[in-house]
Amino acid sequence: MAKRKLQRFAENETFEHFFQPGWEELSAGFSLRGNWNAGFFGNNHPIIIEMGCGKGEYTVDLSSKYPEQNFIGIDKKGARMWRGAKTSKDEERPNVAFLRIRAENICQVFGPAEVDEIWITFPEPQPNSPRQSKRFTSPEFIERYRKLLKPGGLIHLKTDNDMFYNYTLDVINEHDHKLLYANSDLYANPDDSEVKDVIDVQTHYEKIWLSQGLTIKYLKFRLNEA
């Protein structure tokens, strides 16, 4: 397993669409910050990021469904990300990139109002109270997203975890964010037009959890104008 990881790390370094800036590069100023469209994608299409992208299934599959949008998967685990990077390279997807960074550093890789939408797909729920600030929908992360998102930008959450789903609803309500859609059992009504695109793309683990009878939850919201 260790040998496979090393091989994947090495191959990641050969991918032109795979970026893993170190602390020094982030501190000095990441070259694509505020310049993703012109500097990498070569277009003015909307930018959608996926937080905690894992193997990158969502990033890659959405890029196929929406070729007029640019997608960037973000995670800190390069061996997992290799799968999405490899697939998107082999399939010659021009609207895909991957960023290997700690999630807390997203403000150092995106400029103000550079991002149109954020997907948070099956994040680590961080169940212990002292780690609440590390939850991807915590007020601390919401304020990071505010710096990146264009006015009116969307945030999507997909999770199997009841606690995380309810926690996020509480954050939305307590901070007067605009809840656009909430569904605590996404697959109960697959013909619902609001969820069709959401269930068309499934991650590896989502398929496992569905086979185990777990319910999948989904939220869509906008930030308040504070």
What digits encode the pLDDT tens for the residues 128-140? 877 789 999 999 9
pTM: 0.95
Structural contact between residues 122 and 54, judged by C-beta atoms closer than 8 angstroms: yes
Burial of 10 (C-beta count, 10 Å sphere; 0-12/13-18/19+): exposed
In this predicted structure, the answer to whether residue 200 has a pLDDT above a threshold of 90 is no
Kindly give, in sequence order, each residue whose CB lies less than 8 Å from that of residue 80, ignoring residues fewer than 6 positions away.
54, 55, 56
Count of C-beta atoms within a 10 Å radius of residue 49: 27
CA-nearest of 42, 60, 178 to 119 is 60
In this predicted structure, the answer to whether residue 226 has a pLDDT above a threshold of 80 is no
| Spatial separation of the C-alpha atoms in residues 156 and 195, rounded to whole Å | 11
The confidence band for 65, taking pLDDT boundaries of 50, 70 and 90, is very high
* Beta partners for residue 26, in sequence order: none
| Spatial separation of the C-alpha atoms in residues 139 and 15, rounded to whole Å | 34
Average pLDDT over residues 162-167: 96
In this predicted structure, the answer to whether residue 190 has a pLDDT above a threshold of 80 is no
User: Distance from CA of residue 87 to its chain's centroid?
Assistant: 17
Domain extents in the chain: 2-17+44-222
In this predicted structure, the answer to whether residue 59 has a pLDDT above a threshold of 70 is yes
CATH top-level class of 2-17+44-222: alpha beta
| Spatial separation of the C-alpha atoms in residues 46 and 164, rounded to whole Å | 28
Count of C-beta atoms within a 10 Å radius of residue 144: 19
